[in-house]
Amino acid sequence: MFASRGGSGGGKGGKYSVEDLYGFSKKPKASSSSGSIVAKSGARSSKTPDQRTESEALASQILEAAHRLVERRRLELYLRECGLSLADCDAERSAMMYRNLGKSGLRVSCLGLGTWVTFGSQIPDEMAENLMTIAYENGVNLFDTAEVYASGRRSSFVITTKIYWGGQAETERGLSRKHIIEGLRGSLSRLQLDYVDIVFANRNDVNSPMEEIVRAMTFVINQGMAMYWGTSRWSAMEIMEAYSVARQFNLIPPVCEQAEYHYFQRDKVEVQLPELYHKIGVGAMTWSPLACGLITGKYSDGVPECSRAAMKGYQWLKERVNSEEGRRQLAKIKELHLLADRLGCTAAQLAIAWCLRSEGVSSVLLGVSNTDQLLENLGALRILTQMTPQAIIEIDALLGNKPHSKKESRA
């Protein structure tokens, strides 16, 4: 291909010269300060062994950098032949990916916006709307409990909401048929929507029979108030029971489970949910990929005043950070930061890409409070290709907490 190019770019015999590859027009001139040294070409070197070692190390680094430059230049020339550029390749790597939600036909972006964490009472409405707009423009179509959403067609979004906690009255919480139906109607009214795409049962309710829960979820779907239903913080046994009830009475089973998933919370998503996915098609929508900010390293030197752990109602997080287990986790996080530096990404991007590599994970929900955080987190898509088996093995070795399936345990 290269030999076919005409003109001066092809060099002698259709091959590219060193000047072409490096981008030089001529050899660099020696600086005046080095002229006297060059003139003494016949003089013997007076360097000590340490100085020679340093010079050799420097020469090795320069040679390695030159090799990288040559390879980059070759790649640029090849892409130019194909009518592409490095920017095109970067855009392709960072493009949003879409996955089926479990084994349903619903396609969701592999990164979603967890607005119940992102917004709450932490940021003003204007910032919230700005974040959703940026997320949508970057390919995010999944918004978990949104009060406001970016301009666009409703059919291009996947909006979810949760049912369990409502008012103070006994009938205003839980998963009774009454609260599921009335709670969803109230949520739709607040969201100013005719329907949501997924309604989640936010934890199981021991006071409500499973058949009543599944029948109520089937009813709201048949009434057009929701398209699918899922579970959140349910055990694998409870999800299996709901599926069995649905099959027994010809009702609609759940399509996914929302579960906490990060470096230090692995067993459910890596062992239990993959088994459910293969058996009954339940997918995983995960949240807290940064472990409430712990993985970013913001708590390495204590609890900053502006952090979530310092806010009212988050005493549990502060206690977790200051605990012995928290200190052990922070030590591991420092090592993971070094790995992220080596891969050319941030610790947050590495953690999110690590979550996305897990089998059965349909989408990872992000919790952000400003545009810089959002754009950084979306950048995790660029390093998915670096989640090689070797990289995963290295991360597992650092963490030392890889869970084992029943099959592996028996072996």
Q: Return the active site residues.
A: 149
Q: How far apart are CA 113 and CA 146, in angstroms?
A: 9
Q: Which residues does residue 226 pair with via DSSP β-bridges, in sequence order?
A: 196
- Nearest C-alpha neighbor of 365 from the set 145, 89, 185: 145
| 198-222 exposure pattern, b = at least 16 Cβ within 10 A, e = fewer | bbbbbbbbeebebebbbbbbbbbbe
- Nearest C-alpha neighbor of 286 from the set 136, 96, 101: 101
- Nearest C-alpha neighbor of 174 from the set 150, 201, 194: 201
C-beta of residue 133 within 8 angstroms of C-beta of residue 151? yes
Q: How far apart are CA 288 and CA 268, in angstroms?
A: 14
Local structure of 300: helix, strand or coil: coil
C-beta of residue 337 within 8 angstroms of C-beta of residue 297? yes
Q: H or E stretch including 41?
A: none
